[in-house]
Amino acid sequence: MWRIDTMRTFLTVILILDLIALLLAGLYMLSMMTKRRSKSGFYGKLGDHHYAHRGLHAIHAGIPENSLRAFRLAANNGYGAELDVRMSRDGRLVVMHDESLKRTTGANANISGVTEQVLGQLTLEGTREKVPYLEDVLPLFENKTPLLIELKPENGNHEELARKVTGLLKQYPSLDYMIESFDPRVLLWLKKHRPDIIRGQLSENFFRDPEARVGWFMRFVMSNLMTNFITRPDFVAYKYEDRMDLAPGLCRKLWGPQFFWWVVRSQTELEELTEQNDMIIFEGFAAK
């Protein structure tokens, strides 16, 4: 009798654990929910281009990343462009990837801590190119090729940054663009206030990123796209080197969103991905 009771207890525990595991697996899969890619393609003109990462830059030729010259070259050569937007201390929309100005300008300061007066004195990577503002870049692409605009909030300014950028974009009705961010709060703001704007969740395997500034729990959540069910992105932009991870593969299979991959650095990689109808953010070569 004791052995039978023990076996029953053991089987009951196993059953409960199995049910809990199934529930957690179901919640995990639901958390990745996105909008599905249309069978007719990805939002018309937005899906017809490859996107030059930070513009068509080549520092060996004197063309810095995220410079007006790099963006002009991208647009004139028929490419879309990906760019990064941060906010200065006085509320200017600065086009630059890093929060620190050190790498690209040599100045030992952060964008969020300086004003337009300081930024106006700086040049990019030893060239004569100035630090651009978003309003300088947008006219280069109007009636030409689309923009993929990444918002990079700092110190909790996600709402202000999203509001300023979308307010500026209203002034360019002939511009094709979409907005992406690593910060799901940006996507949530867009979902609530500007649902007409195509929005995308940026992500990667944050456990492999030594520069990730979030704790273990948020690394897990963000790596696994587990805020999608709240923000419902139109597309997912995932790091190319992490493309074989479980999260992007499962998200694609379950929910069928449009995928972007960043950053693709060869024509061979590009061709492999475009065969799958994926979209490309490229760098370091002339994409065909």
H-type alpha helices, the chain = 2-31, 68-76, 102-105, 116-119, 134-141, 158-169, 184-193, 216-223, 228-231, 246-255, 267-274
Q: Please give the single-letter amino acid code of residue 70.
A: A
The whole-angstrom separation of Cα 35 and Cα 257 is 6
**Residues 91-119 pLDDT 10s:** 999 999 999 999 999 999 999 999 999 99
For residue 26, being part of any structural domain is answered with no
**Residues 55-90 pLDDT 10s:** 999 999 999 999 999 999 999 999 999 999 999 999
For residue 190, being part of any structural domain is answered with yes
- The pLDDT assigned to 4 comes to 66
Q: Residue 11 — pLDDT band, cuts 50, 70, 90?
A: confident
Host domain of residue 200? 32-282
The pTM of this model reads 0.94
CB 183 within 8 A of CB 153: yes
- Structural domain count of the chain: 1
CATH number at residue 252: 3.20.20.190
Report CA Rg, the chain. 22
Compute φ and ψ for 150, nearest 5 degrees.
-95, 125
